[in-house]
Amino acid sequence: MHHLTATARSYCAIVASDLKIPPTLLLLLSKLCLDFRNGSVSFLLSQTDEVFQINPKQNVALTNENEISMTMQESAQELLNSYVRIQGLNVSQMLRKSVETRDWLHTIEPRTVRAVMKRVVEDISAIDATVALLYEDQGNNTEHSSDSSRKTHSISVSRHQYRSNWSSLTPNHLDSTLVSNMHKLFSERIEIFSTVEFNKVSILTGIIKISLKTFMECVRLKTFSKYGLQQIQVDTHYLQLYLWRFVADEK
């Protein structure tokens, strides 16, 4: 069993360096280790004791069940963290290229969302379907689905209040408020490589946090024209509409 966990953990580095090996392998190995930890370890040890007629109480040097279970738990967690990190970086790569390779100072007036944003949502949906085959949904996003109309209404109300507050500011206050809000936006610490729980919502939340943090940092380093900024607004609104159903509310 120690050999099993050591071999499984070695794939964290292998999948990260070899693009031919799918990240889904890490997800499968993580689930395997978790299932071993939740019952198979105890069953295998008891069967071994029975077959070889071993009395665990008289043999202190025998393999410790708690130790193996803990190793399985740690291996499952490491594999799952690696899966989230790799999938997050894969999506981030698309977003980063979409920002860095475009001439934002001479872009045309936006007519629709860019194709790369649709691709991001499609990839996240595919990941969601894959994860759902192995890990259960804890129901953290059920409230989102049943409350979509109220959420949309609250967004529109908050935007109206936002415009009203800004329209009442003088130019000097506007400049200082803008600088303050921008500084807060980009200086707020977001823990993107945090420990992932063994459920679908937590896994998808981790992947999306990595992706959006990359997108935000790439945008921060660019200069935009009027139409370029409008295109970013269209893209982010599209992501807001279609990605929130995958994540947990961390407020």
> What does the pLDDT read at residue 236?
95
Q: What is the mean pLDDT of residues 8-34?
A: 86
> How high is the mean pLDDT of the chain?
80
CB count in 10 Å sphere of residue 76: 23
Confirm whether 110 is domain-assigned: yes
* Residue range(s) defining the domain that contains residue 144: 2-246
Residue 231 has pLDDT above 90, yes or no: yes
In-domain check, residue 77: yes
> pLDDT (tens digit, 9 = 90+) per residue, 72-82?
899 999 999 99
Does residue 251 lie within any of the structural domains? Answer: no
pLDDT tens digit sequence for 110-125: 999 999 999 999 999 9
User: Residue 86 is which amino acid?
Assistant: I
| Residue 63 in domain | yes
How many folded domains does the chain comprise?
Answer: 1
Determine the pLDDT at residue 56: 61
pLDDT (mean) for 45-50: 70
pLDDT tens sequence across 179-222: 666 566 556 555 656 778 999 999 999 999 999 999 999 999 99
Q: Tell whether the model's pLDDT for residue 167 goes beyond 60.
A: no
Once rounded to an integer, what is the mean pLDDT over residues 21-33? 91
More confident of the two residues 182 and 7? 7
Measured CA to CA, the distance from residue 14 to residue 4 in angstroms comes to 16
pLDDT at 22 over 50: yes
pLDDT band at 10 (very low <50, low <70, confident <90, very high): confident
Compute the distance between CA of residue 125 and CA of residue 103 in angstroms, rounded to an integer.
29
The Cα–Cα gap between 159 and 149 comes to: 15
- The predicted model gives 29-49 an average pLDDT of 79
**In 101-147, alpha helices (H):** 115-132, 142-146
For residue 145, name the pLDDT band (cuts at 50, 70, 90).
Answer: very low
Q: Which of 36-40, 93-97, 129-133, 237-241 has the least mean pLDDT?
A: 36-40
pTM confidence score: 0.76
| Helix/strand/coil percentages in the chain, nearest 5 | 75, 0, 25
Q: Give domain status of residue 14, yes or no.
A: yes
**Residue 166: predicted pLDDT:** 44
